Chains A and B, each alone.
Chain A
Amino acid sequence: MRIAVLRPQVPFARGGAEIFTDELVAELRARGHEADLVSVPFKWYPGARVLTQAFLWRMLDLDEADGRKIDVVVATKFPSYVVRHREKRVWLVHQFRQAYELDGTELGQFGPSAEERALRRQVQELDRRALSEATRLFATSANVAGRLERSTGLVAEVLPHPPQALPYRNAPSEGFVLSASRLDRAKRIDLLLEAAALRDGFDMVIASDGPDRERLEEVAHARGLDGRVRFEGRVSAERLAELYATCSSVFYAPVDEDFGMGPFEAFLSGKPVITTTDSGGPLDVVHDRRTGIVVRPEAGAVGEAAVWLREHEAEAEAFGREGKRLADEVTWDRAIARLFA
């Protein structure tokens, strides 16, 4: 089949959605499909630009390219699903969250004026209209599907995707807690640092980069964690796989995350995950005392979990094995078969 994978692109930014769509295209090609990525820059401010930029997708003609039909388009995140196509499949990474659960929070975008309230509602109307055109509707996690159903009444099938391809392996624990999440506030890495400040008994490696790095380094210094936390920045695939393989556990506790590849990467390395009760998507696979530890979003509770997993290696290994069993079920073969069933 000739398949276009649709991805809005915030110039100079790269995250989970970019990794996901790149890998989807590669996996489709590996299975003999003629697949390509269709990307349109996205800017969501000021004012009604969120709608006019979304509308760019509506003006695209993806019925065919260079005289040949495009059989299927796979839209992923807002606003790529605004596109028109007779065979529009949506594999929803997320909606425009500022119009939904982030509204009214510090991460929200729309103010209290009548115009901004209406703008938010118009984004919701656009979602309802565009997503209801999909011939099949999937969501990457139960969290994303739940949000979609609550906001639009539309029901999506939950279809997780595998994490990025790394040379995953398992090795004996060297006793540190790994965080590989992008360094921004929503990933809540402060919680791990505050946990370490409250509890001895574990060290940390922060293996990523992002806009919050400087602040986090200051927090670590201020809490006297200089000897216990190491900021490695963005590391190579080999180094990341090595860190996953040798950690005692992986900390992954963003706020209400859409999907979260972190737990899958940890599990493929046979490691348990520490997450929180409000983390969203990760709760699909991080099950308390089965594949990791789920705690209240409080530093003390995170610290206790980190120490417990370090001190109970047999249980930690068992959690990691169970996680790997779950992660092994999520393959590109299965995901692609369902996507085009």
Chain B
Amino acid sequence: MRVAYFSPMPPEPSGIADYSALLVPALHEHLDVSVVRRGAKRPPRGVDLSVYHIGNNPEAHGWILDALRRTPGLVVLHDFVLHHLVAGVTIGRRDGHGYLDAMEREHGVVGRLLGHGVLDKRLPPLWEARPEEFPLAGEVLSLATGLVVHSHYVEDRARAAGYDGPIARVPHPAWPDPGVAAAQIAGDPLIGAFGNVNQSKRVPQLLEAFARVRAEHPAARLLLVGATSPGFDLERRLQRLGLDGEGLVREGYVDEPRLWALMKACDVHVSLRSPTMGETSGTAIRALTLGKPLVVSDVGWFAELPAGVALRVAPGDEEVAELTAALQLLAERSDVRATMGAAALELATGEHDLARVAERQAAAFELAAGGGVVADDVLREVGEAAAGVGIAPGTPEAAEIARRLSEVDLGG
């Protein structure tokens, strides 16, 4: 079966590009996958299915949304909140009316008025200030003939938004351990946080909690890896908390080998997020591969990690206190770290195993391409058999047949 695969690919700096680079070779075991060149407007001739990877970044996914608009197909929905993407393909292309239309389509007149406020710069950009309230996923959902998602969270939100097509929930695949040596960084324990340094990654809360932990565990160190987002004054915060000396190790954007080396050096990984766009964290997945215990926000996909793998911290008033308690526990109990790490590795090699994930993705693709015909065939044959013995549509007997078909997902 031939599949046209629309996705950012390396060297684009995108987590979804990394994801596809990992997955596509494994999908080739099951399917004839043609990765569509960036910017293509249509799938190649003769394909059975077009698959569109949609995320929130307009640089990486704008052209994919354009192609989806021309040829509907299966969408792998990496984020549920797509406001930034929609803003990028409207306002970013000098199409303010398109943005207003999108806001009105999903949020009515109030949405349109808010959109005007953004365009007139009377309101801060909603994709930065309140994206979770205005996800703007409606257009993508309306074009998707089926969805592949990574979490119950995104599945539930898509259903809540009225999507009634088939949804396959397929976990994010785990990268294999590349076997690089751990970076030599002191810390007992060494706590790592990876990704952009900003408010939505809860860095202020992490710094505050870590300062409290370090008061009791002076040997503990925090490794902060990733670019600092514009407007986020890290230095001032560190000074205020007394972390500008020995307590913190800072690295900016790092390449993949260095990322693995740094991650391997850590005893504990912190992966916080609020608000969530519905995304899966690639670095959290890498932490699973390395068998590291996690501390995560109790939101979205992160909240679906098993309790034995990740300690969950709810964003809000008690966040710093909960985060402090979680880090204290893991700082003091190497046995807990070991047990959680083993559970993380088991999750990576089980549920997130690359071959298993590829098999499930291929199943979703194959059902999306031919499932409609199969369902029609089944319904026709069952319907003819029922009619042959006098069971007419609308009768209780026909309703029972429909109910039984539905129970086993046979198109009833």
Contacts and interface: CB of A to CB of B under 8 A. Distances in A.
Given A48-B377, A51-B378, A126-B409, A58 B370 contact: no
B22 interface: no
B404 A55 contact: yes
A115 B374 contact: yes
Contacts of B410: 51, 55, 122, 126
Interface in B387-406: 401, 404-405
A122 B382 contact: no
Contacts of B77: none
Contacts of A114: 1, 48-49, 366, 369-370, 373
B350 to A, nearest CB: 9
Given A114-B1, A115-B374, A118-B369, A126 B381 contact: no
Contacts of B48: 114
B370 A116 contact: yes
Contacts of A47: 377
A52 B366 CA distance: 20
Contact of A112 (B1, B378, B382, B409): B1
A55 B369 contact: no
B374 A122 contact: yes
Interface string B352-379: 0000000000010011011101100110
A125 interface: yes
Given A115-B373, A115-B374, A121 B408 contact: no
B371 A49 contact: no
A214 B48 CA distance: 43
Describe A's contact surface by its main secondary structure.
helix
Interface in A24-79: 47-49, 51-52, 55, 58-59
Contact of A52 (B49, B367, B382): B382
B235 interface: no
Interface in B175-220: none
A236 interface: no
A130 interface: yes
A120 interface: yes
B128 interface: no
B365 to A, nearest CB: 9
Nearest to A60: B404
B120 interface: no
Interface string A179-201: 00000000000000000000000
A129 interface: yes
Contacts of B378: 48, 51-52, 55
A76 to B, nearest CB: 18
Given A55-B404, A55-B410, A59-B401, A122 B371 contact: yes
Interface in A116-149: 116-122, 124-126, 129-130
Given A49-B381, A52-B378, A113 B408 contact: no
Interface size class of B (residues with CB under 8 A): 20 to 34
Given A49-B381, A114-B49, A118-B374, A126 B366 contact: no
A84 B401 CA distance: 13
B370 A130 contact: no
A273 interface: no
Contacts of A51: 374, 378, 410
A129 B369 contact: no
A188 B308 CA distance: 48
B370 A119 contact: yes
Contacts of B408: 55, 58, 82, 126, 129-130
B409 A125 contact: yes
B46 to A, nearest CB: 11
A58 B363 contact: no
A113 B369 CA distance: 10
B407 interface: yes
A338 to B, nearest CB: 27
Nearest to B401: A59
B405 A118 contact: no
Central interface residue in A49, A118, A119, A129, by most chain B CB within 10 Å: A118
Interface string A89-132: 00000000000000000000000111111111110111001100
Central interface residue in B1, B371, B374, B377, by most chain A CB within 10 Å: B374
B374 A59 contact: no
B398 to A, nearest CB: 12
A4 B194 CA distance: 58
Contact of B367 (A58, A116, A118): A118
Nearest to B405: A55
A122 B370 CA distance: 10
B47 to A, nearest CB: 10
Contacts of A121: 363, 366-367, 371
B373 A59 contact: no
A98 to B, nearest CB: 15
Contacts of B1: 112-114, 117
Central interface residue in A82, A84, A117, by most chain B CB within 10 Å: A117
A119 B411 CA distance: 12
Contacts of B49: 114
A321 B36 CA distance: 63
Contacts of A55: 378, 382, 404-405, 408, 410
Nearest to B370: A118
Nearest to A61: B400
A6 B363 CA distance: 29
B404 A48 contact: no
A101 to B, nearest CB: 13
A126 B374 CA distance: 13
13 contacts: A52-B382, A55-B378, A55-B404, A84-B404, A113-B1, A114-B366, A114-B373, A115-B374, A116-B370, A117-B366, A118-B366, A122-B371, A130-B408
Interface of B: 1, 48-49, 363, 366-367, 369-371, 373-374, 377-378, 381-382, 385, 401, 404-405, 407-410
Closest A-B pairs by Cβ, 6 of them = A118-B370, A114-B370, A48-B377, A114-B369, A117-B366, A115-B370
Interface of A: 47-49, 51-52, 55, 58-59, 82, 84, 112-122, 124-126, 129-130
